[in-house]
Amino acid sequence: MNNNLLFDFSVDKENKAIHIKREFDASLGMVWQAWTTAELLDQWCAPNPYRTETKTMDFHEGGFWHYAIVSPEGGKHWSRYDYKKIEPQKSIIELRAFSDENGSVSPDFACTECTLIFSEADGKTLVTITEKYRSPEMFGKMATDSHKKGFSSHLRNLDKFLLTLKNK
């Protein structure tokens, strides 16, 4: 596994935004598939030692991903990502929110708008993520080293998962 891949996590307090850039040693098609397929997301998209469990995924504009982050003890923390715009193998704009088990979005937290941009150069894929927080409280909770470490952990899981896909 290549440990020299770009990972940049910056906080923009003025605009309540977090910018993340992460490079993967895999083709754009492979990274896109891992990022947009429920069965594949469930294999990498959670910080260790948690795991992801998809309940519903309808990956198209107007669709959504409803899933739980599952703790080692079995506790579930539900979220829902509503897909607003998708340009295949280029970008995704989604609204992220906490939800309940049925997919109802929690009124206690404003949705976060997230834009993901995918690009490829020299056989590596760069994913650029911008998280724009509508809630100052949620931004304060996420603009932390803890969020950076958790995000970094689940992206390292993607590195490992991509390596297994490449070796098949």
Q: Residue 1 falls within a domain, yes or no? A: no
Query: What is the arithmetic mean of pLDDT over 45-56?
Result: 94
Q: Which residues contact 134 (CB under 8 A, 6 or more apart)?
A: 16, 110, 111, 112, 113
Q: Is the pLDDT of residue 69 over 80?
A: yes
Q: Residue 2 falls within a domain, yes or no? A: no
The rounded distance, in Å, linking the Cα atoms of 10 and 142 is 11
**Orientation of helix 28-36 relative to helix 145-166, angle to 10°:** 120
Per the structure, how many domains does the chain have? Answer: 1
Q: Residue 142 falls within a domain, yes or no? A: yes
Which range has the worst mean pLDDT, 45-59, 76-90, 103-117? 103-117
Please indicate whether residue 43 or residue 167 has the higher confidence score (pLDDT).
43
User: Do residues 114 and 93 lie in contact, with contact meaning Cβ atoms separated by under 8 Å?
Assistant: yes
Q: Is the pLDDT of residue 165 over 90?
A: no
Residue ranges making up the domain that contains 65: 7-166
Query: What is the arithmetic mean of pLDDT over 11-35?
Result: 97
